[in-house]
């Protein structure tokens, strides 16, 4: 008599059912990780905006607190001639990378990125060089 090797139909169905249960429990956790990653990317952009604004203002102060532009690396950054903080359009010049975020309108200093039902917006405030992060939608 010949011995057959392989799996029975019942064994295959049990394995598929177990894999289905594992996938159903892992999927919500994966979606949660995407929202967390998007929020972390927004916090990175927020920190970059604050750093770029502080560097531009420091350059303006070092140059004698005069003028409406400063040069950072190879970029010319528009700044307020009274406070030295970059303008909304100037912060765009000061940033090297916006990490997949898109600017709402050119020169607005407001960037957003969406993943699923979560949207993260990072907005620059030229009056004080601060940036705020605002989540909307279903962000966990």
Cα–Cα distance for residue pair 17/7, rounded to 1 Å:
15
Residue 120 belongs to a domain: yes
Residue showing tokens 């059912």: 17
Strand locations in 5-97, DSSP E? 69-72, 75-78
Residue 48 belongs to a domain: yes
Q: Please write the tens of the pLDDT for every residue from 40-93.
A: 999 999 999 999 999 999 999 999 999 899 998 888 999 999 999 999 999 988
Residue 5 belongs to a domain: no
Q: Residues of the chain with pLDDT > 90: what percent?
A: 56
Instruction: DSSP letter for 26, please.
Output: H
CB 116 within 8 A of CB 35: yes
The whole domain housing 55 covers: 10-137
Q: Which residues contact 122 (CB under 8 A, 6 or more apart)?
A: 42, 45, 46, 49, 101, 110, 111, 112, 131, 132, 133, 134
Q: Which residues contact 85 (CB under 8 A, 6 or more apart)?
A: 53, 56, 57, 79, 126, 127, 128, 129
Q: Please write the tens of the pLDDT for every residue from 108-127.
A: 999 999 988 889 999 999 99
Mean pLDDT of the chain: 88
Residue 1 belongs to a domain: no
Instruction: Indicate the number of domains in the chain.
Output: 1
Residue 4 belongs to a domain: no
Q: Write down the pLDDT at residue 28.
A: 72
């Amino acid at each position: 008599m010949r011995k057959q090797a392989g799996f029975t139909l019942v064994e295959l169905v049990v394995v598929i059912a177990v894999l289905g249960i594992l996938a159903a429990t892992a999927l919500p956790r994966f979606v949660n990780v995407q929202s967390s990653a998007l929020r972390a990317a927004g916090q990175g952009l927020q920190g970059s905006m604050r750093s770029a604004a502080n560097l531009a203002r420091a350059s303006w102060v070092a140059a004698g607190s005069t003028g409406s532009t400063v040069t950072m690396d190879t970029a010319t950054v528009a700044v307020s001639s009274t406070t030295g903080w970059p303008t909304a359009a100037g912060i765009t010049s000061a940033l090297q990378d916006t990490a997949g975020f898109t600017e709402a309108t050119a020169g607005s200093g407001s960037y957003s990125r969406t993943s699923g039902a979560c949207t993260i917006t990072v907005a620059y405030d030229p009056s004080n060089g601060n940036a705020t992060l605002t989540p909307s939608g279903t962000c966990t």
